[in-house]
Amino acid sequence: MKKTFFTPGPAALYPTVHQHLIEGLTQQLFSQSHRSAAYQSIHAKAVSHVKELLGVPENFWVFFFSSATEIWERLGQNCLDQHSLHFVNGSFSRRFFDIVTALGHAPEKVETPWGESVNFDPQSLPHSPDLINFTLNETSTGVSLSLEEIYRFRAKYPEALVTLDMVSIAPYAAVDWSQVDAGYFSVQKCFGLPAGLGVLIAGPKALERAAAIQASGRNVGSYHSFASLLKYAQKNQTPETPNISAVYLLGKVCEDMLSKGIEQIRAETREKADMLYDFFAQHPSYELFVKTPTDRSPTVIVVNTRDDNKALLSRLAAEGLIVGNGYGPMKGKQLRIANFPAVSLEDVRRLINLLMN
Ligand SMILES: *Cc1c(COP(=O)(O)O)cnc(C)c1O
């Protein structure tokens, strides 16, 4: 039976991936040297399609990593001078804080309970932060932040770099890149690609910071230091042998999303999210986890189940619908439903029909 994945990563593959992968194999693209003109063309296309889809300005760079987790470590090494500030309201926002701590920094965190937005008006901070991270869409809880609030907060710390974890909401989020210094995602969520590629979009202020930190003699890592990434990106290459098939598929899927139109993708995402939220709000066996409607994520819908979810997940799986479990401490008690571009309105209707009974 063909399965439909509503899991928030790895997730359902974008419908055109199968055909693009076969095409890449047929053309033997994945055996070519990563120093060849053929690879440079694949790389350049992926970069330009990502930038166009996300509305990224000319003077921002796109760097490739193995995952978003790696990007956290590289940001910690290359962009964090003294004090970072982390708004923690779930597992992923927490993880960046933990990684920076493991690197030997002493980051600050402003915590709020799971299922709530962040506190944009924290008590006075002991240090003025030089890097502020926002997790735009907390995949563990289904909470989305307001970009306007982020821009307002940033105005208080004009010197700080603002980094945006967009892993489970890009390309849906319409980011104003004049307000953000770096944004990042990995491809196995909303882009509907096989896992194994992290993408960082870094602006001039982030690159200047990285250059200053390196010039001060600090350890910024080796092959994936920003200087090394930049040197190769200027040639449409990567320092190491990259995940060529992933870079190729990213370019192709972004091209498909561009032909569909980002506004169309956003409208469909909202329509599917509304159907799911409306259904769960009126069904007595479920309770929406995120109480404030404006905090509810359009791309990851989280609901509490009345009973342990095991029987329900198995019943859905028997029908070919694979739904995400609660994350971490919420395992067994919640459904997490990915509403990514790869799932159709028809898929969502089928899921709702099965959940109705
Ligand atoms: C999945 C996820 C990550 C981690 O991505 P990896 O590719 O597994 O490193 C980070 N942040 C958020 C919000 C995520 O959903």
- pTM to 2 decimal places: 0.98
Q: How far is the CA of 284 from the centre of ligand 1 (A)?
A: 32
Atom of ligand 1 nearest to the CA of 136: 13
Nearest 5°: phi and psi at 20?
Answer: -65, -40
- Spatial distance between the Cα atoms of 114 and 294, rounded to a whole number of angstroms: 15
pLDDT of 357 reads 80
Pocket residue to mutate for ligand 1, from 74, 95, 167, most atoms within 8 A of Cβ: 167
Q: pLDDT tens digit string along 13-67?
A: 999 999 999 999 999 999 999 999 999 999 999 999 999 999 999 999 999 999 9
Q: Which atom of ligand 1 is nearest to the CA of 188?
A: 7
Ligand 1 pocket at CB < 6 A? 9, 67-69, 92, 135, 139, 165, 167-168, 186, 189, 198
- The vertex-100 CA angle with 98 and 103, nearest 5°, equals 110
CA of 69 to the centre of ligand 1 (A): 6
Q: How far apart are the CA of 322 and the centre of ligand 1, in A?
A: 19
Predicted pLDDT at 181? 98
Among 69, 93, 302, the mutation site with the greatest number of ligand 1 atoms within 8 A of its Cβ is: 69
Ligand 1 centre from 37 Cα, in Å?
32
Give bridge partners of residue 227 from the DSSP assignment: none
pLDDT in tens, 300-331: 999 999 999 999 999 999 999 999 999 999 99
Digit-coded pLDDT (tens) for 98-155: 999 999 999 999 999 999 999 999 988 989 999 999 999 999 999 999 999 999 999 9
Distance 288 CA to ligand 1 centre (A): 23
**236 in the Ramachandran plot: left (φ > 0), alpha (ψ -120 to 50) or beta?**
left
For a pLDDT cut of 90, what percent of the chain falls above it? 99
Q: Which atom of ligand 1 lies at the shortest distance from residue 195's CA?
A: 7
Residue among 78, 63, 81, 70 nearest 221 (CA) = 78
Contact 72, 131 (CB under 8 A): no
Token code pair at residue 233: 């990106």
Pocket test of ligand 1: the residue of 189, 193, 197 to mutate, having most ligand atoms within 8 Å of its CB, is: 189
**Predicted local confidence at residue 337, as pLDDT:** 98
Q: What percent of the chain has pLDDT over 70?
A: 100
Angle at 180 between CA 297 and CA 60, to 5 degrees: 120
CA 312–ligand 1 middle distance (angstroms): 26
The CA 167 to ligand 1 mean position distance, Å, reads 6
Quick one: which atom of ligand 1 is closest to the CA of 71? 9
Token pair 């932040």 is found at: 145
Mutate to test the pocket of ligand 1, among 65, 70, 74, 92 (most ligand atoms within 8 A of CB): 92
Q: Is residue 338 classed as helix, strand or coil in its secondary structure?
A: strand
Distance from the CA of 168 to the center of ligand 1, in angstroms?
7
Distance CA 334, CA 31 (A): 43
